[in-house]
Structure 1
Amino acid sequence: MIISHRHRFIFLKTGKAAGTSIELFLSRFLGPDDIATPVSAEDEPKRAPLRPTNYLREPGPLGWKRWGARLPGPVGRWIGRPDRRFDYFNHIPARLVRQYVGHDVWTGYFKFAFERNPWDRQVSSWYWATRHQSEATRPDFKTFTAVEGRRVRGFPIYSIDGTVAVDKIGRYETLEADLADILARVGIDAPVDLPRSKGGLRPDGDYRRHYDDATRSLIGRHCAREIALMGYEF
């Protein structure tokens, strides 16, 4: 997630839609007062010249904010601890960003996110989440996708109370063209030159071969808002 006061934009990062590559690219144009959340240790060295910055907010009455703090692992995801506050985080939803930045910034800045065909995105999520597992221990795609918490959505990130809250939703499928349009809108005169991130895990790009009727229908129902909004088809 990025908030640029220099260029007056807010980038909300959805899952498995080239968000890290977009963050690394946009970081080149940020100023010292802008907000950039950390990415993975593997990808962080690709960010230059700005490192993650300003993503910790001012302490609350107890010196920390419970729901802004995150610890590694599912148990500590929303458990507060004074020395680990991450008030802004990678996939922070629009409703929290609006609360944190206030009305003037939220309404005055250009807000955008990117979407991806949900059926394609779910296959990428499976490959990414199981990348360190052997073939013997890796759950098959159907088993993985059956777990609700493993099904990736974009709509909750860029919507508030069921309504789209950003000015533009770019498409992963037309990433460079849509990002070029966004750069023009926020006054950044630069060619789109995205660094590669989290790639090389999929043996091919044909996501359809992983699906049967049940998993196809499951993702169709789970991501119905995204599919209707963007007009995606299987």
Structure 2
Amino acid sequence: MIVSHRHRFIFAAVPKTGTHAVRQALRDHLGPDDCEQVGLFVDKRFPWPKLAAIRHGHLALRDVRPYLGEETFAGYFKFAFVRNPFARFVSYCAFMLRGGDTFHQRPQDVMRHFLFTDPPVGHVLFQPQAALLLDADGRTLLSDAVGRVETMQASFDALCARIGIPSRRLDQVNATVHDDYRRYYDQPLIDAVAQRYAVDLALFGYDFDGVR
């Protein structure tokens, strides 16, 4: 997550949505009083000890809200990137088994393991994207805008225009290697991902084939 007082925005870093590329581009415009929490490639911590103790940078908007105060939180432009949950889940599986050949040799076995055998429900990368963007009531969307990974550069350009900063070409950072997500699925896997990430599909307008 990034909180910029200079440009009055909050970037919520939803995992597996190109967040490190966005972070790199946004850092060019941060002021001395702006702050970031991240634990991969760069180690930065928020000035609030309770949040700083969390070892990753994928914080929920509702978590930072009390530290900024209602007026500041309401007045800052809050945004994130989201991704088709079916594609994101494949990326998650490939990422978790990076450095070996298991996912590429037996992708459906890996997917079934995470969905049926031992779902890592407490792992921030496995949680629905909406978990970082909804209020505690589970219904109110706190972000003012979401970009889409499927149109990453165009989304980033539009968000920069909204913030009032110049855009630039996004780098590719921390990408996982896999084929088109559709080829990994059978119907039971489609049904399981649709059930687990139902809130993301409904809230952000996705289905198995893409944006509805």
Asked whether the equivalents of residues 15 and 153 of structure 1 are also in contact (C-alpha less than 8 Å), the reply is no
CA distance in 2, matches of 1:216, 1:31: 44
Aligned partner letter, 1:69:
A
CA RMSD of aligned residues (A): 2.2
Given the superposition, is the C-alpha separation of residues 194 and 156 from structure 1 closer, same or farther in structure 2, using an over 3 Å criterion?
Answer: same
| Residue deviations 1:139-194 (CA, integer Å, cap 9, x gap) | 62221333142634110101102210111011111111111111111110x23321
Quote how far apart the aligned CAs of 1:134 are. Answer: 4.5
| Residue deviations 1:73-123 (CA, integer Å, cap 9, x gap) | xxxxxxxxxxxxxxxx51111111111211121011000011100000000
TM-score scaled to structure 2, two decimals?
0.85
The aligned counterpart of 1:115 is 82
1:125-136 aligned within 5 A: 125-135=92-102
The aligned counterpart of 1:81 is none
Asked whether the equivalents of residues 27 and 36 of structure 1 are also in contact (C-alpha less than 8 Å), the reply is no
CA distance in 1, matches of 2:82, 2:54: 25
* Unmatched runs of 5 consecutive residues or more in structure 2: none
Asked whether the equivalents of residues 37 and 52 of structure 2 are also in contact (C-alpha less than 8 Å), the reply is no
Given the superposition, is the C-alpha separation of residues 133 and 144 from structure 1 closer, same or farther in structure 2, using an over 3 Å criterion?
Answer: farther
CA distance in 1, matches of 2:134, 2:79: 11
Which secondary structure state, in structure 2, belongs to the residue aligned with residue 140 of structure 1? helix
Which secondary structure state, in structure 1, belongs to the residue aligned with residue 206 of structure 2? coil
| Residue deviations 1:188-207 (CA, integer Å, cap 9, x gap) | 0x2332122112x3232x11
| Residue deviations 1:196-220 (CA, integer Å, cap 9, x gap) | 2112x3232x111211211111111
Which structure dedicates a bigger proportion of its chain to helix? 2
Quote how far apart the aligned CAs of 1:24 are. Answer: 1.2
Aligned partner letter, 1:14:
V
Asked whether the equivalents of residues 14 and 153 of structure 1 are also in contact (C-alpha less than 8 Å), the reply is no
Structure with larger RCO (C-alpha < 8 A, sep 6+): 2
The aligned counterpart of 2:114 is 144
Are 2:182 and 1:208 aligned?
A: yes
Higher Rg of the two aligned structures? 1
The aligned counterpart of 1:219 is 193
Given the superposition, is the C-alpha separation of residues 68 and 2 from structure 1 closer, same or farther in structure 2, using an over 3 Å criterion?
Answer: closer
| Residue deviations 1:30-88 (CA, integer Å, cap 9, x gap) | 011001112413xx3xxxxxx83x6132x5xxxxx4x75246xxxxxxxxxxxxxxxxx
* Unmatched runs of 5 consecutive residues or more in structure 1: 45-50, 60-64, 72-88
Are 2:17 and 1:17 aligned?
A: yes
Matched residue pairs, number? 198
